[in-house]
Amino acid sequence: MRMTTERLPTHNGASLVVEWLQQRQIRLVFLVPGGQIAALLDALASTDQIQVIVANHELGAAYMADGYARATKKIAVCISIGGPGASNMLTAAITARMDNSRVLFITGNVPVDLQGIGAFQDGGSSACRDSALFSAALQHTANVTTAEELITQLNQAWDAILLHTAPAHLSIPKNILAQHSAFSCVISDQPHPDISAAKLHKVIAALNKVKKILIVVGQRLYTQESAQLLMLLAETYALPMVTTLGAKGVIAETFPFNLGNFGYGGNTCADAIVFTEKIDLLLILGTDLNERDTLGWDKRLNAPGRVLVRIDTVSTPASHPYQPDIEFITDSFSALVALINADKILQPLSDSAAYRMDWLNTLTANKPVKETPIVSFSNPAIPLISLIQTLQQRLPDDSILVADAGMHRKLSGRYWQVKQSNTFFNPATTAPMGWGLAAAIGIQLANKQQQVVAITGDGCMRMHGMELATAARYQIPVLFIICNNAAYAATASYLQPKNYSMVQLPTIDWVGFAAAIGINGIKVDRQSDLELAIKPAILIMTLIA
């Protein structure tokens, strides 16, 4: 990325960071305060252009930033001290990288001249080793060592996030935040990378040769612009598609060419098409087809005679069970623009569109009226399937569902229909417990006119339930649905019944907990209670358990 620097009136590093954030159109940051970043807190307090959300735990703050980044499709910012603050954020950093969420993690550190001599909460290489931890977790991490390089390092981190659609980390010592500097920057737009014409023509030739084509959409189809281009491509050439669970929500499932998500939490129709239908070519966009997405790398996905064409930003590992016949390494947006503009040489694909439309009609006509039930460990007063279906019926169509880790995530994948794009989120790749509680707060802040619903479990609440106090503090009207089955239900399916005591949990009065932190709580014991509780809770901060 090109940039120019100019001399400005001197101000300290913290003010420079805040000015840089404002130039980057950052309007919200998530953080937990600490002494190492005190100068940054002062600088943030002096501007009315950036809202600060103070979380209860660094991991909660990081999950909130992750949720905000996913919902806005922009870069989110999370700030903490180094040392224990930095290490507390690591799970969120890994989750963001694995799910291609754009978060800039900024951590403080002790002054440069005190590093390595036993300073309190030193994040340097001879103490807490913040950068070593983040370098293992992320593709880009850096330490600022002089005031002169502060803006350069910030810009390099920003560029890395855009280039890789992944998070980055920057450690800024306390003395540099306090030190005065006379530099700022003028920032240019990030260009889209050039694409290989030879690889593009290979993809086009493959598409022109066959009739039965199925698009497999992954989570690295990141932007709404990419989703709109994909819908245009599907409509133009009558191309049906399925999504991974991570990409559920990218395109509305009411879109006639979207057959829903397959694999873990997949619907019966999509699974049958991917694994049993005779298909000539799979056009795989923005996914590496991991274990969960493919039901344990089911060999039927790569059935004899199928051509696998993969478009993604990262290459397929040599050890991967699905080796593509054609691999086009580029971002989905650039590839889709190129395919849309190649209409003159995609005439054979256009000629076979009527055939695919008939095929699509046959596929949807054979779609089962009822889904195959997924068996859950416990039998609560309101079964999870009924809970999800009731939420779907009672909530506005533009409501956003955030599925936390657990059986409720799997069942949400199957039974929740996404009626509008960008209204379903889940931590697809690693599924850390409690992610949904905090991420929903960030997602609600990004969508203030829509109802965000976090569906979670009592196990997740035990991990990050205190972040509900953050929602209460800032009056963020998330609707929290607690699946209170007194168990780690997803794990129970792997155990012998005689060992269920290992996953059972003592009951907690979650409604009482909600009241203690200032959230409206409603106890629901019957289906009729649930139906009555939902509508009054819309855009009013509420917990239903």
Within 10 angstroms of residue 9's Cβ, the number of other Cβ atoms is 7
User: How high is the pLDDT of residue 6?
Assistant: 47
Do the domain assignments include residue 459? yes
User: How many H-runs (helices) and E-runs (strands) does the chain carry?
Assistant: 22, 20
| CA neighbours closer than 13 Å in the CB half-sphere of residue 323 | 3
- The larger pLDDT score, comparing residue 175 to residue 54, is at 54
pLDDT the model gives residue 485: 83
**What rounded mean pLDDT belongs to the chain?**
90
Tell me, what's the pLDDT at 48? 95
Domain assignment present for 371: no
- The answer to which of 87-101, 131-145, 227-241 has the lowest mean pLDDT is 131-145
What is the pLDDT at residue 304?
A: 94
The arithmetic mean of pLDDT across residues 112-138, rounded, is 78
| Domain final residue, candidates 185, 217, 249 | 185
- Average pLDDT score over residue span 27-40: 96
Residues 163 and 229 in one domain: no
If asked whether residues 215 and 342 sit together in one domain, one would say yes
Q: Is 213 in the same domain as 289?
A: yes
Instruction: Give me the domain span that covers residue 415.
Output: 384-544
Whether 372 is covered by a domain: the verdict is no
Same domain, 143 and 225: no
Co-location of 359 and 388 in the same domain: no
Which residues lie across from 54 on neighbouring strands? Answer: 31
Residue 5 has pLDDT above 50, yes or no: no
Q: Is residue 209 part of a domain?
A: yes
Rounded average pLDDT over 29-34 = 98
- pLDDT computed for residue 201 by the predictor: 95
Looking at the fold, whether 481 and 518 belong to one and the same domain comes out as: yes
Q: What is the CATH number of the domain that holds 297?
A: 3.40.50.1220
Q: Would residue 397 count as lying in a domain?
A: yes
Provide CB contacts within 8 A for 260, sequence distance 6+.
242, 243, 248, 253, 266, 267, 269, 270, 417
Between 49 and 487, the more confident residue is 49
- The length of the chain is 545
Kindly report each contact of residues 225-234 with a partner whose C-beta sits within 8 Å and lies 24 or more positions away, as own/partner: 225/333, 226/332, 226/333, 226/336, 227/251, 227/421, 229/333, 229/336, 229/337, 229/340, 230/285, 230/332, 230/336, 231/255, 231/257, 232/340, 233/336, 233/339, 233/340
What is the separation of C-alpha 103 from the centre of its chain, rounded to a whole number of angstroms? 10
Task: Decide if 21 is inside a domain.
Answer: yes
**Looking at 300, 335, 365, which one is the last position of a domain?**
365
Residues 303 and 391 in one domain: no
**In percent, how much of the chain has pLDDT > 70?**
92
Last residue of a domain, one of 365, 394, 426: 365
The model's confidence at residue 495, banded by pLDDT at 50, 70 and 90, is confident
Per-residue pLDDT at 129: 84
Q: Are residues 175 and 230 in the same domain?
A: no
pLDDT at 210 over 60: yes
Query: With 70 as the cut, is the pLDDT of residue 116 above it?
Result: no
Confidence of residue 178 (pLDDT cuts 50, 70, 90): confident
pLDDT score for 115: 72
Rounded average pLDDT over 197-226: 94
Is the domain of 150 the same as that of 92? yes
Question: What's the pLDDT score for residue 237?
Answer: 98
Q: Give the residue with greater pLDDT, 409 vs 184.
A: 409
CATH number (domain holding residue 396)? 3.40.50.970
Q: What are phi and psi of 140, to 5 degrees?
A: -130, 125
186 pLDDT higher than 60: no
* Domain presence at residue 191: no
DSSP string covering 100-159, please?
A: T--EEEEEEES-GGGTTTT-TT--STTTT-HHHHHHHH-SEEEE--SGGGHHHHHHHHHH
As a whole number, mean pLDDT of residues 341-354 equals 97
* pLDDT score of 182: 63
H or E element in which residue 82 lies: none
Confidence of residue 489 (pLDDT cuts 50, 70, 90): confident
Q: In whole angstroms, how far apart are CA 32 and each of 48, 59, 172? A: 19, 9, 16
* Structural domains of the chain, count: 3
Q: Would residue 121 count as lying in a domain?
A: yes
pLDDT digits (tens, 9 = 90+) for 226-262: 999 999 999 999 999 999 999 999 999 999 999 999 9
Query: Residues 299-338: pLDDT tens digits?
Result: 999 999 999 999 998 899 999 999 999 999 998 999 999 9
The helix/strand/coil state of 97 is helix
Query: Per-residue pLDDT for 504 more than 90?
Result: no
Q: Are residues 453 and 406 in the same domain?
A: yes
Q: Assess whether 113 and 14 both reside in one domain.
A: yes
pLDDT value of residue 190: 59
Same domain, residue pair 173 and 203:
no
